[in-house]
């Protein structure tokens, strides 16, 4: 049996658009395939059944490899809250929980993002090893979301994303 523990990543972002527009970017397939775990040019599959118990799926194809992210919607409260699971089955059966809360503010909206990250322990880890793994996993996850949220902001505020050349 795999031993895991949880570390929590929290991030906030502001957008110069309505909460409805940001919420739509999290649930509308045409928007999702442009920023969430994928780019429009590398996206093979984008599905979203944004209702409690509904599923979402992204398949991104890069360097000859398909990367699949899937999950289930647990809370769907347009346009202010989404809670869903996140898993990449090719790497692990472990699911993280993600909560997105979007609140209107005077100049647009503020998004609060929380991910409960399951950290897989290696045999013989000490408390210090676990603490370091929590920091490392949180840092790597935050970096990934940082870049996705840059794309999300550009998409909802301008209607397009300009991808950097890789």
| Spatial contact of 94 and 87, defined as CB atoms under 8 Å apart | yes
Q: In terms of residue numbers, what domain contains 8?
A: 4-119
Q: Tell me if 46 is assigned to some domain.
A: yes
Question: CA 90, CA 69: separation in Å to the nearest integer?
Answer: 9
CATH number for the domain that contains residue 38: 3.30.530.20
Residue 162, domain member (yes or no): no
Residue 135 in domain: no
Residue 83 lies in a domain: yes
pLDDT tens by residue, 54-96: 999 999 999 999 999 999 999 999 999 999 999 999 999 999 9
Q: Is residue 28 part of a domain?
A: yes
Distance from C-alpha of 163 to C-alpha of 166, rounded to nearest angstrom: 9
- Inform me whether the pLDDT recorded for 125 exceeds 90: yes
Smallest CA-to-CA distance from 84 within 115, 112, 38 is with 115
159 lies in some domain: no
Task: Label residue 166 by pLDDT band (50, 70, 90).
Answer: very low
Our count of domains for the chain comes to 1
Please say if the pLDDT value at position 1 is more than 70: no
Average pLDDT over residues 11-28: 97
112 sits in which H/E element: strand 108-120
Quote the pLDDT of residue 164: 56
Query: Is residue 90 a part of any domain in this protein?
Result: yes
Query: 115 near 141, Cβ under 8 Å?
Result: yes
Whether 36 is in a domain gets the answer yes
Mean pLDDT across 119-129:
93
């Amino acid at each position: 049996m795999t031993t895991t523990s949880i570390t929590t990543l929290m991030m906030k972002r502001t957008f110069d658009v309505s909460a409805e527009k940001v919420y739509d970017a999290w649930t509308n397939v045409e928007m999702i395939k442009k920023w969430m775990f994928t780019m429009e040019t590398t996206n093979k599959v984008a599905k979203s059944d944004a209702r409690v118990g509904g599923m979402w799926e992204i398949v991104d194809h890069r360097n000859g490899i398909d990367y699949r992210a899937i999950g289930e919607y647990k809370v769907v409260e347009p346009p202010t809250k989404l809670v869903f699971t996140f898993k990449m089955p090719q790497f692990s059966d472990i699911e993280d929980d993600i909560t997105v809360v979007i609140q209107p503010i005077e100049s647009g909206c503020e998004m609060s993002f929380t991910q409960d990250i399951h950290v897989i322990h290696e045999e013989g880890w000490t408390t210090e090893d676990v603490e370091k793994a929590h920091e490392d996993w949180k840092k790597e996850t935050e970096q990934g979301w940082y870049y996705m949220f840059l794309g999300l902001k550009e998409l909802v505020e301008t209607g397009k994303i300009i991808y950097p050349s890789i």
